[in-house]
Chain A
């Protein structure tokens, strides 16, 4: 029997990639936090940090097993929760998955789960009880992310013998999570925005971003971390990782240009918020496709995603749902663009590259299945949380600001006085 040994080059890259994807959590927290008003920036950031905390603990307990355990009954729907419970047999320095230590693969994939949940929080800014969000995050990860990630990321004979139906039976291409992460989070964001309803004054009073430099910094950190997300999804230090990295820059820069072009034509101004949003739209769209397209394909995907996402941000006002930070317009639309366009510009498999329509149909089925399951399951989970413990804070709390009302703290000491503000404070109760 061939001796299995780790590849140190692969291991080094995956250790770095894991660190990079962890950085996406504060990146997202800043990206979202800068976009809300002063009175709710801390709650916005806490939803990302909270999602990481609850989801990663569940990941160790049973999440990894539900995603990468042997498919129950070979149906490709869900992994065996009992196989790697509490990482049984894998949480030691000798266990290997692929060519790297099992521990590294487990940590890397666990952050994907956390990021996906954190992305959803953008649709419910300013108005969700923190405890309800944490309960929702745990249930949603368990009932939506873990199954869907099994469908998409669990390849036969990699961690376990049998994997998920989208990866193995359908054969839809999703390199780093256009379906499992972005369509999944985007559809859930739409469902949750519908469950929670609009913020007080939505569409009537200005809800301007309180700090665009924070948004720009967050977008930059996301981009940096995304190299781990996309190029790390090669689970190897090789040419595939290199191509994914190149495309992660190409698509993103093209998306910035097209988002700004739409803004200039539609609104008369190219904005910094548009540039930051274009960065994320491009990153989202290239996520499933980064190893399936060449550089030209990446530019096309990025350009299309930037334009379509920019055109989609107005939908919420027309249709009347308060997807506060445009999770739908950026992640759902961007995820669909990237996933579907593999069917057009994918090397060898795309319609424009002589691959016929076969892959395009597979991509559409994969995207549609994840969208439908996530949307319906999230509606049910969100409704149950709302009916039992209540999802929304009161209108008075919302008007006062969720940071003070729920977390008992404020983001900024906005004064020039070196002694700090003396207004509005008294010691003790």
Chain B
């Protein structure tokens, strides 16, 4: 099993979510995140005092998938999240040892 983690532009979340649902994904976890990469931050000004804000708002989306589905799901996310401009985010996968559904106690791929 794999955990796919995607850092997205917040306004792209809806597109990515719809694309994943269209691809048969039945669950995901979304959280607000902030950070910086090549996009860099922006400048804010309060009574003439300028502040550089490095950490910009992003959305972190996490999906658990079976190994065989990982590549295609990553492709779905990348396609839906892309605007072509800097700051579109990143997607990565990590191996997962075990997954348990809390309610039923199901384990492994059955719990996804």
The one of A206, A208, A209, A266 that contacts B48, using a Cβ cutoff of 8 Å: A266
Interface status of B102 (Cβ within 8 A of chain A)? no
Instruction: Check A310 against B48 for contact (C-beta < 8 Å).
Output: yes
B-contact bits for A199-213, CB 8 A (1 contact / 0 none)? 000000010110000
What is the CA–CA distance of A263 and B46 in the complex, to the nearest angstrom? 10
Q: Which of B11-61 contact A (CB under 8 A)?
A: 44-51, 53
Kindly provide the distance from the CB of A113 to the nearest chain B CB, expressed in whole angstroms: 28
**B48 proximity list for chain A (CB < 8 A):** 263, 266-267, 310, 313-314
A315 to B51 CA separation, bound complex (whole angstroms): 17
Q: Residue A282 at the B interface, CB < 8 A?
A: no
Name the residue in B45, B50, B51, B53 with the highest tally of chain A Cβ atoms < 10 Å from its Cβ.
B45
B residues near A271, Cβ cutoff 8 Å: 45-47
Residues of A within 8 A of B47 (CB): 271, 273-274, 277, 310, 313, 326
A206 to B50, CA, bound (A): 9
Quick check: B45 and A208 within 8 Å, CB to CB?
no
A75 proximal to B (CB < 8 A):
no
Number of interface residues of B (CB under 8 A): 9
Assembled-state Cα–Cα distance A119/B47 (Å): 18
Interface size grouping (class) on chain A:
10 to 19
B51–A208 touching, CB < 8 Å: yes
A269 adjacent to chain B (CB < 8 Å): yes
Interface of B is mostly: strand
Which residues B56-100 have CB closer than 8 A to chain A? none
Q: A158 within 8 Å of B by Cβ?
A: no
Give the nearest-CB partner of A309 in chain B.
Answer: B47
Interface string of A304-326 (1 = CB under 8 A from B): 00000010011001000000001
Closest B residue to A203 by beta carbon equals: B49
Q: How far is the CA of A217 from the CA of B9 in the complex (A)?
A: 32
Distance between Cα atoms of A271 and B51 in the complex (Å): 14
Chain A nearest Cβ from B90, distance in angstroms: 26
Give Cα distance in the complex from A268 to B43, angstroms. 11
Task: Name the residue on B nearest A311 (C-beta).
Answer: B48
- Collect the chain B residues with CB atoms within 8 Å of residue A274's CB: 47
Across the interface, name the chain B residue whose C-beta is closest to A326.
B47
B49 close to A317 (CB less than 8 A): yes
**B44: which A residues are within 8 A, CB to CB?**
208
Q: Is the CB of A209 within 8 A of B49?
A: no
Return A327 CB to nearest CB of chain B, in Å: 13
In whole angstroms, how far apart are the Cα atoms of A306 and B59 in the complex? Answer: 41
Q: Look across to chain A and name the residue whose beta carbon is closest to the beta carbon of B50.
A: A267
Q: How far is the CA of A209 from the CA of B51 in the complex (A)?
A: 12
Q: Assess whether B51 is in contact with A206, with CB atoms less than 8 Å apart.
A: yes
Query: From B49, which residue of chain A is reached at the shortest CB distance?
Result: A317
A267 to B, closest residue via Cβ = B45
Assuming A206-B51, A208-B46, A267-B45, what are 5 further A-B pairs, CB within 8 angstroms? A263-B48, A267-B48, A271-B46, A314-B49, A317-B49
Interface residues of A (CB under 8 A from B): 206, 208-209, 263, 266-269, 271, 273-274, 277, 310, 313-314, 317, 326
- Mind listing 17 A-B residue pairs with CB under 8 Å? A208-B44, A209-B46, A266-B48, A267-B48, A267-B50, A269-B45, A271-B45, A271-B46, A273-B46, A273-B47, A274-B47, A277-B47, A310-B47, A313-B47, A313-B48, A314-B49, A317-B49
